[in-house]
Amino acid sequence: MKVLVVDDDEVNLLITATMLTQMGLTAVKVSSGEAAVEAVDHQDFDLILMDLEMPGIDGTKAAREIRKKGYNMPIMAMTAHNTVNGHSRAHQAGIRVFIRKPIDTDKLTEVIELASEGAYLLEDTPTLSV
């Protein structure tokens, strides 16, 4: 499984990518929403793990742009905040799973399993917070 990891915090980016690599997955790292939107045009990804709060194009806007281009891979948000408004905007952009930071291996394993089973791709899928 190939995972695009998007986070403007270099430490979080490195930790998340390392955890994915240790799970036997391929992690591609980018540090902005703009880079994420561009990356999906050049590589195939099975999953995107996206920080919601980034300068420039934030995670919600990046997810919306990726969906506009017709890509339907699961996009899962990594966030330190748990706000109803933020979840609602992200859900409208096609994000179905919210992972609370700091991310631990158990949470990450759970969402990877969901993604590999094809969960959280459909518009009517409920939102999950782990």
Q: How far is CA 25 from the centre of its chain?
A: 15
Close Cβ partners of 58 (under 8 Å, ≥ 6 residues apart):
33, 52
**Domain CATH number, residue 42:** 3.40.50.2300
pLDDT at 25: 97
How far apart are the C-alpha atoms of 124 and 122, rounded to whole Å?
A: 6
Full-model pTM: 0.88
Residue-level pLDDT, tens digit, the chain, 130 residues? 999 999 999 999 999 999 999 999 999 999 999 999 999 999 999 999 999 999 999 999 999 999 999 999 999 999 887 655 566 788 888 888 888 888 889 989 988 888 787 765 545 555 556 5
Burial (CB count <10 Å: 0-12, 13-18, 19+), residue 13:
buried
CA gap 87, 61 in Å, rounded: 13
The number of distinct structural domains making up the chain is 1
Q: Give the pLDDT score at 122.
A: 47
Residue type, 24: G
Domain range holding 56? 2-129
pLDDT reported for residue 94: 83
Nearest C-alpha neighbor of 6 from the set 34, 44, 26, 46: 34
d(CA 44, CA 29): 14
- The values of phi and psi at residue 118, to 5°, are 85, 15
pLDDT at res. 129? 61
